[in-house]
Structure 1
């Protein structure tokens, strides 16, 4: 069995490698070659959450589970609040093949999903990137988005504005001007990424101009909400997995209000595979509901195992 500790991940997995792994598995999902198992989530009290995401990629021969959750007391312990580990198994025998640190991989795979949606759905001439949210994940989102479009400026809003300068530092690192703005200034953005953990919508229909692409990445649980449901009614809506989108993703609210139905949502893997045209004109509003699926975690974990083997840094144990 291979072990890839958390401390080794940063030296192995790049945003580009994560992009490639996630795009491949999204395509496999749309073809029916890969599927996710039901998600298990449990509230442990005092804000702690724990759960399991798992699935099988038949073509990629990847079977596994990510176990982890959110532990708000970890900040005082000097470790990330989000803690997770990925376990991989041989799909033919069930024998365990790898244990991989999942904290950084989770951030990279989430950013990769948004970047894939931008690459496939945003206007080619997009110059202004808007970001709603300035937490830990926002920096990964900014870097991944900058890989796929030649943005000339970043504008951002956060409920706690004192957090925005740190995101501005990331923009400066990649050579992009940065401005903290009010939410109504998001009409200037051709691409908007929402990455919050809000229980109520912050981005409204009036804040988004025609032709914008939205990547809604923060809603992954029943009750969370980042954008006004009217935005989904106006948009052509895509997602990573339809079942999660309508039950615990951003679409849950628009579906519950009767503004859209399951048939109005397309899995982005169909665009990747060439079975759906994606954006069809420059005035079209497109929206990606990124709910986060277990197969994303398994795909990047399997990729980092291969990278560790190639680099000679994989730890092999007899298990």
Structure 2
């Protein structure tokens, strides 16, 4: 038996954003319908100035694939000290019927793609249909990926952006306007940016509230991406009090997502969580029900998203005869 090896360049050529959005939607439905075995992920924090490495494992009964992803981040000295990026990822795919290793692929691009796609999936069921303005708090790679994904499912007329780093903000404006032709308005403050939002995206490594409750107008859909472990925070917990709260995984979001903060401060209880996005996609829970609701999608990221996305890439590779086969034995 041979194993397929796929490089980052090959991975990028083998899937479109539309396909990723479809794969992520499938992942959410599978998770919320009991077709997934997904243990808690394991993280190792290494001494400063190094960062962290996480391991996510998932089994999807429908495709009989077990995926394991190792992803690192925060290694700020890597480019100069070691000649590698400050964050990397690798995905292994196993045939669940035999546990044979079928594929090894670069996982750094997949993480960005499937995280971006998660926002687009949430927009389809939770954003107002007449949404025209996006605000991004944070202007890094994931802010860009969210725009790439959302423009696949909705026409956006303008983007408002805020970042602590003026240079990063200027690059973001130039990049987005060049790629999409959508005007980017640089905000003078977080408040100014948030007040404009029909769709608000937070993609920072925040350690405290960046968005205050009284800045958020009725009808806003919030995509909370940055908080995936305790200690991180982007939203004022008071926002949750009168919002429709949707999680990717209730168990994860209540332990280490943005949803943990209002629970910890007793602003909400678990009964106030509307449900998981997979339940909405399956039709067992309603999505947006009126144009005045504030909706929050708290996304902590799940192994099943890596599973369905990487399995699609693997199938595309086989169909197009792309990649390099090798044998361990």
| TM-score interval, normalised by the smaller of the two chains | over 0.9
Moved more, 263-272 or 73-82: 73-82
Counterpart in the other structure of 2:22? 20
Change (3 A) 1:78 1:209: farther
Counterpart in the other structure of 2:107? 102
SS in structure 2 opposite 1:272?
helix
Counterpart in the other structure of 2:172? 167
For 1:5 and 1:65, how far apart are their aligned partners in 2? Answer: 16
Give, in angstroms, the shift of residue 153 of structure 1. 0.3
For 1:100 and 1:164, how far apart are their aligned partners in 2? Answer: 32
* Matched-pair contact (CA < 8 Å) for 1:183–1:207: no
Give, in angstroms, the shift of residue 306 of structure 1. 1.1
For 2:324 and 2:241, how far apart are their aligned partners in 1? Answer: 50
Counterpart in the other structure of 1:267? 276
Counterpart in the other structure of 2:8? 6
Pick from 307, 312, 318 the counterpart of residue 298 of structure 1: 307
Q: Which runs of 5+ in 2 are unaligned?
A: none
For 1:249 and 1:129, how far apart are their aligned partners in 2? Answer: 22
Moved more, 111-120 or 62-71: 62-71
The alignment covers a number of residue pairs equal to: 319
SS in structure 2 opposite 1:52?
strand
* Matched-pair contact (CA < 8 Å) for 2:5–2:324: yes
Pick from 200, 203, 218 the counterpart of residue 210 of structure 1: 218
- Provide TM-score, normalisation by structure 1: 0.97
Give, in angstroms, the shift of residue 162 of structure 1. 2.0
Q: Where does structure 1 differ by over 4 angstroms across 4 or more consecutive aligned residues?
A: none
Counterpart in the other structure of 1:244? 252
Q: Which runs of 5+ in 1 are unaligned?
A: none
For 2:115 and 2:240, how far apart are their aligned partners in 1? Answer: 21
Counterpart in the other structure of 1:87? 92
Counterpart in the other structure of 2:295? 286
Counterpart in the other structure of 1:184? 191
For 1:12 and 1:64, how far apart are their aligned partners in 2? Answer: 18
* Matched-pair contact (CA < 8 Å) for 1:154–1:177: yes
Give, in angstroms, the shift of residue 14 of structure 1. 1.8
For the aligned residues, what is the CA RMSD?
1.3
What's the CA shift string for 1:188-230, capped at 9, x where partnerless? 1100110000111111112210000000001011110011001
